[in-house]
Amino acid sequence: MNRYPGWLNLLVVGIVLVACFFALPSFFGESRAIQVTMEDNATLPADLPDVVGNLLAEAGLPTGEIFVHRNRLFVTAASDDEQEAIKLLLQEKIAPDEDSGYKVATNFAPLMPTWLRTLGGKPVHLGLDLRGGVHLLFEVDMPRAIAQYQDQMASAIKQLAKNEKIRGVRSRAGNQTIIVTSRDTQRCDQLRTVIEDMEEGFLIAEGPSDGGCPELRLTMSEPQIQARQAFAIEQNTTTLRSRLDQLGVAEPLVQQQGANRIVVQLPGVGDPAEVIQTLSAVATLEFRGECKTGSPAAAAQSGRAPVGCLLYPETAAGILSPAVLERDVIATGGELVDARASRDAQDGPIVNVTLDGSASKRMLEHTKTNVGNRMAVVFIETLARKVPGQEKPVLETSERVISLATIQGVFSDRFRISGFTSAEATELAVLLRAGALAAPIYVVEQRTVGPTLGKDNIEKGKMAVIIGFLLVVVFMLVYYRLFGLFANMALFANLIIMMAVLSLLQASLTLPGIAGIVLTVGMAVDANVLIFERIREELRNGNSPQAAIHAGYDKAFSSIADANITTLIAALVLWMFGTGPIQGFATTLAIGIMSSMFTAIIGTRALVNWIYGDKKVEKLSI
């Protein structure tokens, strides 16, 4: 009656042993460390640990543990000062520039025996509130995203009309509307067809005619607006991840929160100022030819550029101000395939640029006909500045000519830009290679968690789990005797399984997550309390011990299942609609509920069967 088949006993033991293996790395903790990786996750050289060890020994720096784990080299450090010193040394010696192929960043290294690391053991990933670092909440400027999209569409309409040889087409965007006019009265219908074929969804209305085709007013439909907003948040999330990767920030968390916000968590980062500036910069380039009519001095004096040209009063050092450039753009930063900072013996720090196919064709056509003329590189940057008394920051856009050089020969997709300092060249390459933001972003929340506070949180969380566990253990032993011991063993197995699942999923364990574990410790014995009380009731009714055990587990199951399923549904709803700390709590609660169902019902039943199953029993220790 009370006996499991052999395979089920082996399954229970096997699950617990496997859980012990995956949970074991989390009990060794972690240490401050420097992480070295290769670009594009290339395989590290086999001799890199020896090279790093020799560099540290020559510099007289304390040599911690040096090891390779999951294609990342770690150098452990005993303090923040040692960590910073090792980082600066490795950046200088093995990663002085981007051509080295190495990326050096601060991180935390898992402390565990070599055999466990070789077998692929992974500790539980700690959240920001336990590890320390910076929490940033960015908001995407959605109205600006829509306005930028309309500007792009207005330019695209002009280009398509030019390709179709429709004369005198003008297109401008403003007030959520694109207005298109044309003087070519013979091709009014063709212009409308070109616009309709360009993208579905525009609401087109005809306006008055001023001697040409009727004015076309294009308004974005609601599905178009929603699609563009979704694209802006997705593109910005991807770009932020890429920029953090280029900066060498280890294991950042970047995820969407709500309809227009992005959460960025940076473990181990103490000063967020430099990171914020790089992340929030909306930077791009434009390549324009120098205007061939008029003079810069005359344009500066009158404040107006010749027809078909633009006046740029702000230029970089070494370039005569102002610059007068052609209105038509040859290529933009959005058409870059790659950008790398390096150093040239003659020109100093440079940025090597690679364009995509369409941009390279336009660059080839321009350089063919303009050898001996000058071409400018315009750097455009948009930053959000907080103004006292205003809820949202003001967006400031600066445009300046950073290069104005004579075209020496014909080129297309590959060329270089000079005239920078080393820091400027590196920053520009990072921004361009990571991609442009689809819309400006600004910080609406910023929190810094020190490593000391994170360590205190861990210690307090451990203490809460230990105290809660011990109180439950003592109560169950006193009240239910041997059956209470079975429940305590199942409770310990439940904690092991929870840590193993968190390790396997690499889910972030946060302080609210620890609260979920503490709550699970209390809830996990509920099932056993229901079962044990049912067994007691059956004994009081005069049933035999074996029948009481069978009835206790059998009749209490439905109540246990109902209670746990409803709690699991609540945890899933919290995870789906909550953010940050709420999701951390919901994750551990959901894992704890599912694992406690296994340990409290199947696990304790296996132990009870082992002691009492198929035996003549006069009395139960319950």
Please name which of 525, 539, 547 lies closest in space to residue 603, comparing C-alpha atoms: 525
Is the pLDDT at 351 greater than 70? The verdict is yes
CA distances from 451 to 253, 455, 555, 581 (A): 17, 6, 50, 18
The residue count of the chain comes to: 622
Q: Rounded to an integer, what distance in angstroms lies between the CA atom of residue 441 and that of residue 409? A: 40
Q: Got the DSSP string for 392-418?
A: SPEEEEEEEEEEEEE--S--SSEEEEE
Mean pLDDT for the stretch of residues 407-430:
77
Name the average pLDDT for the chain: 80
Confidence at 271, pLDDT banded by 50, 70, 90:
low
Lowest mean pLDDT among 229-243, 292-306, 384-398, 422-436: 384-398
> What is the percent of the chain where pLDDT is above 90?
0
Q: DSSP 3-state assignment of 377?
A: strand
The H-assigned helical ranges of 444-580 are 451-505, 511-540, 545-577
H or E stretch covering 245: helix 222-247
CA 502 to chain centre: 19
Mean pLDDT for the stretch of residues 389-409:
75
Q: Rounded to an integer, what distance in angstroms lies between the CA atom of residue 575 and that of residue 581? A: 10
pLDDT at site 99 = 61
- Helix 451-505 vs helix 604-612: angle between axes, to the nearest 10 degrees? 70
What domains, with CATH codes, occur in the chain? 6-24+450-612 (1.20.1640.10), 30-111 (3.30.70.260), 133-280 (no CATH), 281-447 (3.30.1360.200)
Task: Report residue 316 as tokens.
Answer: 């970089």
pLDDT at site 377 = 84
Task: Report residue 109 as tokens.
Answer: 């290294």
pLDDT at site 32 = 79
What are residue 112's phi and psi, to 5 degrees? -160, 160
Task: Report residue 248 as tokens.
Answer: 């060498």
Q: Is 18 exposed, middle or buried (0-12, 13-18, 19+ CB in 10 A)?
A: middle
Across-strand partners of 103? 37
Q: Rounded to an integer, what distance in angstroms lies between the CA atom of residue 313 and that of residue 324? A: 8
Which residues, other chains included, contact 565 with Cβ-Cβ below 8 Å and sequence gap of 6+? none
- Helix 545-577 vs helix 511-540: angle between axes, to the nearest 10 degrees? 160
| pTM for this prediction | 0.61
Per DSSP, 123 falls in state P
Mean pLDDT for the stretch of residues 360-367:
86
Dump pLDDT digits (tens) for 154-213.
877 877 787 788 888 888 887 778 888 888 888 888 888 888 877 667 888 888 777 778
601-620: b or e for each residue (b if 16 or more CB lie within 10 Å)?
A: bbbbbbbbbeebbeeebeeb
Please name which of 207, 224, 213, 168 lies closest in space to residue 188, comparing C-alpha atoms: 213
Is the pLDDT at 409 greater than 70? The verdict is yes
